[in-house]
Amino acid sequence: MRLSDASVVIRPRTDWEAMDLGVLLSQQHRRLLMTSWAAITLPIFALLSLLLWDSPNIALLLFWWLKPAFDRLPLYILSKALFGETPSVKQALSQWPRLLKPQLLASLTWRRLSLSRSFIMPVVQLEGLSGQARQQRLLVLQQRNSGAARWLTVIGTHLEMAWWIGLMVLFYLFLPQHIELDWSWQSLIAAAEQDWLWLEHLLNALYVVVLIVWEPIYVACGFSLYLNRRTELEAWDIELIFRRLRQRLSSAAVTLMLAGLMLVPIAQPAWAGESPSALDSPRLLEQPLTSQAAKDSIKAILDKPPFTNTQTVTRYRFGEDTPSPADNTESPAWLKALFGMFDSRSLGTLAKVIEVLLWASVIGAVALLLWRYREWLRAFVSRRPVLRSQIPRSAPAQLFGLDVSLQTLPADVAASAESLWQTQPREALGLLYRALLSRLLHDFHVPLKAADTEGQVLERIQSLQQPALQAFSTSLTLHWQNLAYGHQLPPAHLQQELCDGWRELFGAGSH
């Protein structure tokens, strides 16, 4: 690394000025950074989307979690371009597998959620430090600029979300008007969940587009903060000033040597005029100057003011203090042995053991809480289908204002609904719907609650994994919502289909 080849002015800057320098660096090489980022991230995003097509949220989460691995490529490009060795896209992509090797597991696990990730990433990738050397280096670097790096991550997260939402709105504005008019809440409810997977993957792709633009800027700002901190610590700006002075003086050195050679003949007669015995004068012979004498003289000078700065410090030490003459009593041998067991290394080991025990206690407490409330978690968190043997402790008497107790239902639900269609269609459809809820509660033992919505009821029916029941429940719920909230009666042929569907599922009786 030659500082004189840097493409930017090396000088100490404020935190925000350093991040502004990072933005300018990313703009200068934006085509290379965005192209290389897209070349490695788009194939990985496409592969995750294909493998996890039914779980687009998990695919996006995995892609977001892999960002530290992707960030190593922009950092490599910026570190080379800063000193005039800008690589091509092909050269950068060929180096990416090598860049992933050092400490990738740590970057994707316990260091993943670090807010100072962009600031400390060059320590591993550019300096190649690990272990204790890395920790000591981070302690020095994070004395300053680490707060700005954390704010960079927080502000960057908000910018990502804002741009992502903006692209979603822009996508909605570009939809043709006739497609937008065909959308209604009835069609959104009636549509199956699988029909909207393509839309979720498309929205995920918009987030990837945001990262192609923003993530190189984020890496460049963290890299500029790192450079600014090293400039302050290692005085890069002063080193550059001395190098420029040396270059200026090197040209003048030749002139000074020529002038010295010209003065040699002039000074020679003066030396020749001196008698040979002048070199043997007492002024030159009686000089007791030796290396030891010079060392003693320097030490004597340093031991006198203003070089001395004597301080008296009182502290406790284990096993190394010599007893003073005033002490008449001697400490017990067992106490000395106990104190001798603890030195700086053993105290550090003891601190590590205590830390491990504390973390084990926290993990054990969390595990105990999970075991203590496992029944509550199984009821409200688990997505497994509910078994018939798992009867709810207390079934609600009413759902959506409908009485779902068995005593209020007629013996033949379908026949009663058919007799009510002509005169009281709302009561007929309500009878079918509350009879369905009663069946779910008492026959299938679905844990319905009084606060559940129609959509949550359909989700619990889906967990039963009975396609016929799910299709009938979806159709009946849609017509019930149209009648209850939109006052729209189902057509006559659908009325008979609902009654026939009830008979196919549950027969003629209600009990």
In whole angstroms, what is the distance from residue 217 CA to residue 398 CA?
57
**pLDDT reported for residue 300:** 80
pLDDT of residue 272: 47
For residue 61, give both structure tokens.
């989460």
Asked if residue 19 lies in contact with residue 225, where contact means CB atoms within 8 angstroms, the answer is yes
Packing angle, helices 197-234 and 15-28, rounded to 10: 120
Residue pair 45/212 in contact by the 8 Å Cβ criterion: no
Q: What pLDDT does residue 479 have?
A: 81
DSSP 303-348: TSTTT----------SS-PPPPTT--S---HHHHHHHHT--HHHHH
Residue type, 306: P
Q: What is the pLDDT of residue 192?
A: 46
The DSSP secondary structure of 76-145, one letter per residue, reads HHHHHHTTT-PPPHHHHHHHHHHHTSTTHHHHTTTTTT-TTHHHHHHHHHTS---HHHHHHHHHHHTTSS
CA angle 370, 372, 374 (to 5 degrees): 60
Query: What residue segments make up the domains of the chain, in order of their start?
Result: 3-240, 346-382, 398-506
How far is the CA of 256 from the CAs of 59, 245, 246, 259, in angstroms? 72, 16, 15, 5
Place of tokens 């000591």: 136
* pTM score of the predicted model: 0.50
**What are the phi and psi torsion angles at 112 (to 5°)?**
-65, -40
The tens-digit pLDDT sequence of the chain (511 residues) is 566 556 677 788 888 888 998 899 999 999 999 999 999 999 999 999 999 988 999 999 999 999 999 999 999 999 888 887 888 999 999 999 999 988 899 889 988 988 988 988 988 888 888 888 888 888 888 887 788 889 999 999 999 999 999 998 888 887 776 555 555 544 555 554 556 788 889 999 999 999 999 999 999 999 999 888 888 877 665 666 666 666 666 666 666 666 666 665 544 444 444 455 444 555 545 555 677 777 787 878 777 776 666 667 666 565 544 444 444 455 566 666 665 665 556 667 777 888 889 999 999 898 888 888 777 777 655 555 444 444 445 666 676 667 777 777 787 877 887 787 778 878 877 777 778 888 787 778 788 777 777 788 888 888 888 888 888 888 888 887 787 777 777 777 777 788 888 888 777 654 4
pLDDT at residue 51, rounded to an integer: 93
For 265-269, which contacts have Cβ atoms below 8 Å and span 24 or more sequence positions? none
Q: Is 269 helix (H, G, I), strand (E, B) or coil?
A: helix
CA dihedral 216, 221, 223, 229 (to 10 degrees): 180
Nearest to 410 by CA among 426, 436, 431: 431
Neighbours of 471 (CB within 10 A): 13
